[in-house]
Amino acid sequence: MMPETATITRIAPQEMGVTRLDIVRGLTGSERAVALYVSDMPTGRRRHSAEQLRDWIAQGFERLGREETARWGAFLRGHRLLDLNGLVSVQIQQRHEQRFPKAGRLVAADQQAASSVYRDRMSEETRLRNHVGEVDGDCPCRGTRRIRMHLEEGCDSLAMMCPVHAAATIRQMARA
């Protein structure tokens, strides 16, 4: 007698009343880039229709699932914020390259994701979390939200706000 096999019935988003556009609008720019990276999207720099991009984004989202897409997207955003400030450690870079070994594909996915954000927009809830990033490894701020910078010997040290962990504070200060 064979043991029982557990089966999971997967319901397509369309069957639940969710359109591809709803899925896309619920993803941040980084999450869309991640979804495109893991999808069947060709890497070459060609123009694609809005509908085709939505299909690939939804496909990648379904492959990774909501939690992993959000997690990878947050790590991608965190890496970008650190990279813009020259703060990516060897450990963080290695983990980034393990997750995204094809740099050219990530660039293409990122460009297409940006196009998607411009064209399809985001839901209000998604827009509010679009700036959130995480660090996959030891952040240079070590949880303090501040990164010490040493100039010359004999000078006091300066500190900058962590672009990942103090992003909300930085955004508030920019608005003021």
Residue among 28, 58, 19 nearest 41 (CA): 58
Residues 76-115 have pLDDT tens digits of 999 999 999 889 999 999 999 999 999 999 999 999 999 9
pTM attached to this predicted model? 0.81
Q: What is the pLDDT of residue 147?
A: 83
Proportion of the chain above pLDDT 70, given as a percent: 82
Q: What is the pLDDT of residue 16?
A: 55
Collect the ranges in the chain with pLDDT lower than 50. Answer: 1-12, 14-15
**Residue 89 in contact with residue 147, Cβ under 8 Å?**
no
Q: Residue ranges of the alpha helices (H) in the chain?
A: 20-25, 29-38, 50-84, 90-99, 103-120, 124-129, 167-175
